[in-house]
Amino acid sequence: MGANKTVEYISIAFKCITLAVEVYDYFNQRPKHDIVVPDDMEETVRKAKAALKLDTLHFFNFGVAGHSKTGKSSLINAIRGLEDDDYERGAAEVDVTETTHEITQYGFPNPLLKDVRIYDIPGAGTLTHDANNYYQDKRICAFDTVIICIQESVCREEIDFAIQCIKYNQPIVFVRSRCDTVMDNLKKQKRITQVDQAAVDNQIQKMSEAFKREIERTKIAELRKVPCFFISAYSLRDHMNGKESDVYQEKLFIDFIIAESKRRRNIVF
Ligand SMILES: Nc1nc2c(ncn2[C@@H]2O[C@H](COP(=O)(O)OP(=O)(O)O)[C@@H](O)[C@H]2O)c(=O)[nH]1
Ligand SMILES: [Mg+2]
């Protein structure tokens, strides 16, 4: 192996380690503060924590909500750095029809992330539960941050659900996963010649603008502050495993949930 190649490999290895350390640096510390909620909502949040058996003192708890097939389980596996079929390490089952409305808890197989828990909140806004009741029934207010998985466009239930979160001073973020399939389709339709970073960036710009227009149409000012990140579960898994893969907005997304959950716990940067 030539000297140049060796230097290149060392440099790539170094970048991977730096990336991994950045992510773990936050997640591997127990929260130093409990979540902060408006005074008049403390009692509700206390009851919610008890009902869900959430330990907000020792764990960061992230909820993932959204309709069936929006990619929640895949996103959870990706954040945990797992392949979808890594059942030995407790991968969430992908592509199953949601027959339950039970919230499922997932820890992190990586011991460095032992103080983080992530929760699958299935079927938000289905016909059996309207979004407002769902928020109350499921005691969503006790999570540090709620990640709302959406499809091509934001629907009414997702908007109502987001408004409930905002009322509880709860950080939320919309995520549109499966962006790799969007790019593949554009190529098949011959609207792009290849899937390179320029084509991805261009498409993300278009999707972000379309998202903003949808939010504007709701005429709800608070929602303008809620970002939407466009990602692929596959790139996100690589990102979480410290590989240099930030094809869509994986790094922005993880940085955002870290920053917002700190805000909710009054952790000053
Ligand atoms: N190509 C691609 N497929 C995805 C992605 N995320 C989810 N999927 C697929 O979308 C389908 C539904 O995903 P799943 O995680 O089960 O959605 P859930 O019902 O919301 O938990 C499955 O076939 C996944 O493999 C992604 O980022 N890229
Ligand atoms: Mg699922």
| Ligand 1 atom with the shortest distance to the CA of 234 | 27
Q: Among residues 257, 236, 239, which one has the least CA distance to residue 75?
A: 236
List ligand 1's pocket residues with C-beta within 6 A. 66, 68-74, 94-95, 98, 177-178, 180-181, 232-234
The CA 232 to ligand 1 mean position distance, Å, reads 9
Three-state secondary structure of 202-224: HHHHHHHHHHHHHHHHHCCHHHH
- Encode pLDDT of 199-248 as tens digits: 999 999 999 999 999 999 999 999 999 999 999 999 999 998 988 776 89
- Encode pLDDT of 29-85 as tens digits: 677 778 777 777 788 888 888 988 898 888 889 999 988 889 999 999 999 999 999
Q: Among residues 127, 122, 135, 125, which one has the least CA distance to residue 157?
A: 125
The Cα–Cα gap between 142 and 59 comes to 12
**CA distances in angstroms from 242 to 8, 18, 21, 47, 197, listed in the order given:** 17, 8, 8, 38, 19
pLDDT-above-90 percentage for the chain: 43
The Cα–Cα gap between 154 and 168 comes to 21
Q: Which domains does the chain have, with CATH numbers?
A: 3-264 (3.40.50.300)
